[in-house]
Structure 1
Amino acid sequence: MKVLPRRRGAVLLNSALGVALVGAAALAYTTLDGGTTKAAGKAQVRTATVAKGTVLATVSGTGTLASPTDAAQDFTTGGRLTAVKVAVGDTVTKGQVLATVDTTAVQQQVEAAQSALTTANANLTKAQAGVTTTTTQQIPGSAQPSGSAAGAGGSGGGERGAGGSSTPAPQTTTITTTKVDAAAVAQAQQQVATAQTSLANAQAALAGTTLTASVDGTVASVANKVGDTVGGGSGSGSTTTAKSTGSSGSTAPSGFIVLTNPTGMQVTANFSELDSLKLKKGEAATVTLNAQSDTKLNATVLSVSSLPAGSGGTGGAAAVQYAATLQITGDTAKLRTGLSATVSVVTGEADNALSLPTAALAGTGASRTATLVQPDGSTERVEVGVGVEGDTTVQVVSGLKEGDKVEIATTSGGSGFPNGSFPGLNGGQGGRGGAGTGVAGVGAAGGGAAGGGAGRGGTR
């Protein structure tokens, strides 16, 4: 049969195209397969070795520093400032005079109260003395009737009767009576008590015109100057100390003069509700100043509030937080009230303990599992008992010994496709033996033809 020139050219062209398609398919398959093999070769299993060390479990919170002896100093008696004896930065001692106000009006009140007390005491003395009255009374039987004397004389003879006609004078006595009015005494006593109270108040007001330091410290602020009028506080000493805000720290006191003292510095920090349940009094902690990250201070937990301090985050799902107060130990001389800090509290610790990275164990709770790698490379699934669950490591208490190697689960590499092969190459590895037939499926026929070709190639 003769082939026409035009038809012969078409056949040659189709043959060339077929060879090109076969070559391209083979190249694509080889490239994809080679890439998959390389990726698989790079995916190596990581292991961890059971070793001895310290396992630490910590929780963290943020807060601010404050001293419980920070205090605002205010007059108990207000008035015009006549002297301010300290300035910001001065160091003062307890009892030292800080400032004074005018005493003129208060001094007059003291004098008036003293005078009132003197009068009240005099009235009480008078009431207690009572009212005295004097009366004169005849003593009974001190005088006899005149007839009885004559009769007596007659019995003795006529002459005696004539000479005894005189009558003796009656005898009298003076009686003094003092009457004390109980109601008047009680009223006078009440007046004295009132006058004494008034005098004590006036004297306290006079003492309150001099402001003295209630604690040792450094003057942090002075709100007024000489000539200004300042108000008086309520109560003796009128001292206001730093108070917890229930949020991330404490609020500094405010007043006419504020004294700060780094001695006994504390930090109040907020913790998440889950972490707060792990906190206990006496637990050790580390305080890191946010402004000086290289400064780390030791501290211990003093107390944990049972009332929520606020919520962290935003939105309706914000977590509740609880405040804990910690006592800073060591040198606090250079610390200042209000410095922000991050607090890390050790809630669990195991020293010289067998440990593994947390990622090397599967499961939760006190009993977990691990893949033990034997010296010959074989693996075995074993149960592992755990103790302290640290931040990155876990204490091993049973199931493994020091030096054992355990697999750490990783995500293996691949070609980037779910099954590691190019879509449509369903023939996979089986088609490699009969590539000449299998790759014939790569073309207009699609993946189904390729699959058939791969199957045939695999049976060769």
Structure 2
Amino acid sequence: MLNVALVAIVLAIATAAYLLFFRGEPEAAGTTRPTVTVARGDVTAGVSSSGTLQSSQTASPQFATSGTVTAVLVKVGQVVAKGAAIARIDPASAEREVRIAEQNQIAAANSVTAAQETLDDAEDAKQAADEAAAEPTPTPTPGEQTQTQTQAQAQSQSQGQSPEVAVSNAEASLARAKADKEQADQNLEAAQSDVTNTTLKAPIAGTITAINGSVGSVAGGSSGSGSTGATGTGATGQGSTGGSSSTTTSSAAGTGFVDISDLKTLQVVASFPEADAVKIKTKQAATVTLNAEPGSTLTATLTSVSPTPTTTNGVVSYSATFTLAKVPASARIGQTANVTVQTAKATNVLYVPTTSIVTSGTTHTVTMANGSGSREVQIGVQGGSFTQITSGLDEGDQIELIQGAIGTGGTGQGAGQGRTGAGGTGQFPGGGTGQFPGGGTGQFPGAGTGANRGR
């Protein structure tokens, strides 16, 4: 009995195998390719990449004057206007420097006055000596001199120098006094600026995204150059020494006392491989989708393309910046954004699915559906799904899709890149009610009732 049962099982398996593999052969032999009609419309081409949402303008201002923080006037998330007070440090030291600078300025001014008086006296003495030397006088008897000559000689002897040297020295002293006065004026201006800078102010309008200091901490004293993010320009300040005026210093993001970002004007920064980067240029239109909001499409404009590349693992890419026309209320900096740049567009032209074209070198051909074989065509704009036909076909012509044969099943699905069935109940690649990768009643782009696009 056991042997009989085993023989029955083997026969059943053999019968099933025969029906499965051999019965479908005649049907498979009747496979055909789907057809599509040459249509007229618009064809667009583009390149895509992904990046992140970033603020178009950021700043990290820092105190230009050193001191202990006495007050923080903002909170994270607060919107501030340009010039708004952010925090304060103890002004006592800066105010003391102002008083010292004021006294030095007064002393320098007095020195200028004294040097001017000395120069005036020297010039008067020189003029008297010159007049005495030019005055015709009788030959004096031994021991006799005119009164003017006596006075001029007495003054020269008392100074130990000639009138000319006395004037030259006085002029030099006045010049030094004036230079000291100018330096004292600059020092006073710098000291007064330091007092002003004990209040840190916002260099741009935006939202406070981080506060990196606190009351009681020591802040300021840096004069590093500023940075306001991707496209902005930061304020650059100088320290409180050296006689130059101080301004609020804006440092690299995260190193200032606070971080500020303009959240009203967001942009997308994305990298494109070098093959795609050569196709894009400023002012091109783009569409943006956010992973956080997959159902919404935003419009953007290509603002700039970096002239220098970035190489990662041997791959060369170029960074591009896109400005959004409208920022959704839910958008947040750092969100992932997918961007597509429209690089070319042809309007009201003949087009066919890209999968219907066979390319060999610079020659492009399509297969006619009426059995007349292949036909060479000229192409224009090549989009992701459709390609413009500039010559070789007429509107309404029927051509075959060349990406795989489609079975004869109306509800079945073809292999690989096949599109639609042509009637019957085919399987894969034909016959039955099979469904690879899925049946349905959709239609793209040819006859039959089968089909979603297969891959």
Query: What TM-score results when the alignment is normalised by the length of structure 2?
Result: 0.68
Q: 1:44 to 1:171 in 2, by over 3 A?
A: closer
Contact 2:265 2:327 in 1 (8 A): no
The reply on whether 1:109 has 2:105 as its aligned counterpart is no
Q: What residue number does 2:310 align with?
A: 309
Cross-structure match for 1:98 = 86
Alpha carbons 1:385, 1:397 under 8 Å: kept: yes
Rate the CA distance shift 1:172–1:397 in 2: closer, same or farther, 3 A: same
CA distance change for structure 1 residues 268 and 254 in 2, over 3 Å: closer, same or farther? farther
Task: Determine if contact 1:367/1:386 at 8 Å carries over to the other structure.
Answer: no
Query: Partner of 1:39 in structure 2?
Result: 28
Task: Give the equivalent residue in structure 1 for 2:378.
Answer: 385
Alignment partners' CA distance in 2, 1:228 and 1:28: 83
Counterpart in 1 of 2:432? none
Q: Which amino acid aligns with 1:306?
A: P
SS at match of 1:112: helix
Q: Pairwise CA RMSD of aligned residues? A: 3.5
Corresponding residue to 1:399 among 386, 392, 398: 392
Alignment partner, residue 338 of structure 1? 334
1:86 to 74, 89, 100: 74
Q: 1:224: how far off?
A: 2.3
CA–CA distance in 2 between the matches of 1:101 and 1:69? 26
Deviation at 1:337, TM superposition (A): 2.2
Match of 1:293 in 2: 294
Please tell me whether residue 217 in structure 1 is matched to residue 206 in structure 2: yes
Aligned residue type for 1:218: T
For residues 400-455 of structure 1, the C-alpha deviation after alignment (integer angstroms, 9 at most, x for no partner) is 111111111244589xxxxxxxxxxxxxxxxxxxxxxxxxxxxxxxxxxxxxxxxx
Task: Check the 8 A contact 2:51/2:336 in 1, yes or no.
Answer: yes
Alignment check: 8 A CA contact 2:310 2:318 kept: yes
Q: Which moved more, 1:333-342 or 1:201-210?
A: 333-342
Alpha-carbon distance in 2 for matches of 1:31, 1:217: 70
Normalized against structure 1, the TM-score is what? 0.67
Contact 2:37/2:399, CA 8 A, preserved across alignment? yes
Listed as ranges, the matches of 1:46-445 within 5 Å are: 46-130=34-118, 132=121, 179-180=166-167, 181=169, 182-234=171-223, 239-243=226-230, 254-311=255-312, 318-331=314-327, 334-363=330-359, 367-374=363-370, 378-412=371-405
Identity %: 36
SS of 1:363 mapped into structure 2: strand
Q: CA deviation at 1:31?
A: 9.0
Q: Which runs of 5+ in 2 are unaligned?
A: 1-13, 156-162, 232-251, 408-455
Residues 140 and 360 of structure 1: is their aligned pair in 2 closer, same or farther, counting only changes over 3 Å? closer
* Count of residue pairs brought into register by the alignment: 350
2:334 partner amino acid: G
* Cα separation, 2, equivalents of 1:324 and 1:30: 59
- Counterpart of 2:293, as a letter, is Q
**Aligned twin of 1:8:** none
- 1:99 maps to amino acid: A
Displacement of 1:44? 1.6
Q: Quick one: distance in 1 between partners of 2:397 and 2:203?
A: 64
Stretches of structure 1 that go unaligned for 5 or more consecutive residues are: 1-24, 146-169, 245-250, 415-460
Q: Higher strand proportion, which one?
A: 1
Displacement of 1:35 after TM fit?
A: 3.4
Q: Structure 1 335/364 Cα, relative in aligned 2: closer, same or farther at 3 Å?
A: farther
Change (3 A) 1:33 1:337: closer
Cα distance between partner residues in 2 of 1:306 and 1:192: 49
Checking the alignment, whether the CA contact within 8 Å between 1:74 and 1:239 is kept in structure 2 is no
What displacement does 1:60 show?
1.1
Larger radius of gyration: 1
| SS of residue paired to 1:353 | strand
Residues 324-347 of structure 1 show CA distances to partners (whole Å, capped at 9, x for unaligned) of: 111111245543322221111111
User: Structure 1 residues 410 and 292 mapped into 2: Cα distance closer, same or farther (>3 Å)?
Assistant: closer
The 1:140–1:112 alpha-carbon spacing in structure 2 relative to 1, beyond 3 Å, is same
